[in-house]
Amino acid sequence: MPKSHLRQVHQQFHCNDLEVVVATIAFGMGIDKSNVRRIIHYGLPQSLEAYYQEAGRAGRDGKLSDCTLYYNFLRTPTLLPNKRSEEQAKAAYRMLRDCFHYSLNTSTCRAKILVKYFGEDFGPDGCRMCDICTNGPPQMHDFKEEAIVFMNVLQGRSGGETDEMIYSRVPHYSSGRRGFGEAPNFRMVVSHIREKVWIW
């Protein structure tokens, strides 16, 4: 992309002619705009230092702003440098471990985690603004029945009255019984479990 176009987008965003910019980390780090209201991270950061700097682009005017992190564990290998020494590899994995701890946390104020990471004490109270403080810890639900069905499918069991009863509870089983172990039907089972989790 031409540098002239990047400068144009930067200028338009800074002057409020553009409300949304989808950009690389490098471009985002060059933005010094006080009234950014929302930052969306589409992918796990390489380190909490990087996340802190990127998230810090929002709300510089002191007003409330949102920061949302989306991540996919399958993309984790892309966060590691291709050519690295053993020491570099250890450091990279250590930084990713800290990112996992932060993103998968379901009980501790996120501001507390960030502040503690940088060697400071946030205090006894939470920030009262992050998803943990506002929503509380997630409710626990029992998906034992779904897990049993799922494991039976993974093991490729077929035949027998017991197995027939188990499979009969799985959506789309009767319509694809002859090839139930095939990928399309397997995806249906996974989709069904995801739907149940989403409903909860």
Task: Read off the pLDDT of residues 96-136 as tens digits, 9 standing for 90 and up.
Answer: 889 989 998 888 999 999 999 999 998 888 899 999 999 88
Mean pLDDT of 31-39: 91
The answer, yes or no, to whether residue 180 has pLDDT greater than 50, is no
Mean pLDDT of 17-39: 87
Exposure pattern of 14-33 as b/e (b: 16+ CB <10 Å)?
eeeeeeeeeeeeeebeeeee
Please report the pLDDT score of residue 165 as a whole number: 47
> Higher confidence at residue 37 or residue 25?
37
Q: Domains of the chain, with CATH numbers?
A: 3-135 (3.40.50.300), 144-199 (no CATH)
Is pTM beyond 0.75? Reply is: no
Q: Are 59 and 65 in contact (CB under 8 A)?
A: yes
pLDDT confidence band for 160 (50 / 70 / 90): very low
